[in-house]
Amino acid sequence: MYKIAMDNLSALFQKIAESNELYLPIENCGQVNYGVWSEDADVNIEALKTVKSPKDAFFPQSENLYRCDKEEKKISITPAQLKDQNFVVFGMKACDIQGVEVLDKVFLSDPVDTFYAARREHGTIVALACNEPEETCFCKVFGIDCSDPKADVATWIVDGELCWKALTEKGEALTDAVKDLLTDDSAADAKVEEKKAEIKDIVEKLPYMGLSLEGWGSEVVDEKFDERFNSPVWNDLYKPCLACGTCTFVCPTCQCYDIKDYDTGHGVERYRCWDSCMYSDFTMMAHGNNRNSQMQRFRQRFMHKLVYYPINNDGMYSCVGCGRCVEKCPQSLNIVKVIKAFENQGGEK
């Protein structure tokens, strides 16, 4: 295992950026989000989690697909260039890494999304263990160990140093590129194990760690599915929802998007952008919308996270317990509240 002093991280970032685009948590106006590194950026890798997840690096909030140009009677179509520049996403937490794995099952299954696939091919993830998980975190409920993130490189902050361990070929290549700045330290392994134990001890004391997923997941089939889908619990639960879409835009796993055209004045630019199943015009077609009430849209979001996705993906949930929706929902109406509502009422009432 290698290490580098936290005071020397600027040099590390500079070295990585010589051959890669570098994305990492940057603080701006009191908010921390992933952005492109620059020498004057206010980097804050010790922030527990960014406002939005770093999924933008692989699934951008807005992305051009192709351009149509018309010259006299001739129309030409120019596809947008796929990502061809190597990049590093530095400091991703275990929950956000699991979020990328959720997206992988959507965008890398047949038919493969070539835009997403290109970004995954050129991207290297440097994970950072959560130093002090917060009350809104509940990643362990979904089988995620925030003390031991799995990515191309795993890192831990211990005693003013960043401990560094390559886990994949991409990770080894990045390690070789920055090795001059790293110090090989066999004693770091023991320190990291102690740090893992400290983190796990914090996790066990968090308020949502006892959240039960009984009655959810891939086992919800046949009669159980009908009971959950038609439960009157939804009729009361959805009412405070403002349909603002905040929960979907901060979520690491939401993958819904819309495709739109923009008139440039001399042609048309087609692009895709994030959308939300909480919006009344989501999947709107000529005949209308299959989910024409807010209750139905609200139910769709959480049934997808907790039932539809695991049924179709070997039991993997489309929630990673990051707690962003817990923090950001203006009505405190989040996935924890949904799970608890069914737990308290047996899910059948």
Express each pLDDT in 89-138 by its tens digit.
Answer: 999 999 999 999 999 999 999 999 999 999 999 999 999 999 999 999 99
Burial, 245: exposed, middle or buried (Cβ in 10 Å; 0-12, 13-18, 19+)?
middle
- pLDDT at residue 160 in the model: 93
Measured between alpha carbons, how far is 296 from 304 in angstroms, rounded to an integer? 12
pLDDT at residue 285 in the model: 65
Q: Which amino acid is at 116?
A: Y
Residue matched to tokens 């989910």: 291
Integer-rounded Cα radius of gyration of the chain: 22
DSSP H helices in 273-334: 294-303, 309-312, 324-328
**Between 343 and 198, whose confidence is greater?**
198
* Res 105: pLDDT: 97
pLDDT of 199 reads 97
pLDDT for position 281: 77
pLDDT at 70: 83
Assess whether pLDDT exceeds 70 at residue 186.
yes
> Which amino acid is it at 293?
S
Amino acid at 118: A
Angle (CA) 162-164-167 rounded to 5° is: 155
Average pLDDT over residues 202-214: 93
E strand map for 72-143: 74-79, 87-92, 123-128
Q: Tell me, what's the pLDDT at 346? A: 52
Give pLDDT, residue 277.
87
Q: Phi first, then psi: give them for residue 224, nearest 5 degrees.
A: -65, -40
Distance CA 69, CA 264 (A): 9
Residue with tokens 């596809």: 79
- Give me 14's structure tokens: 């500079």
Q: What is the edge-to-edge ordering of all strands in the sheet holding 62-71?
A: 74-79, 62-71, 267-274, 257-263
Percentage of residues in the chain with pLDDT exceeding 70? 97
Provide mean pLDDT across the span 201-218. 93
Q: 130 is written with which tokens?
A: 């959560």
Q: Is the pLDDT of residue 28 over 80?
A: yes
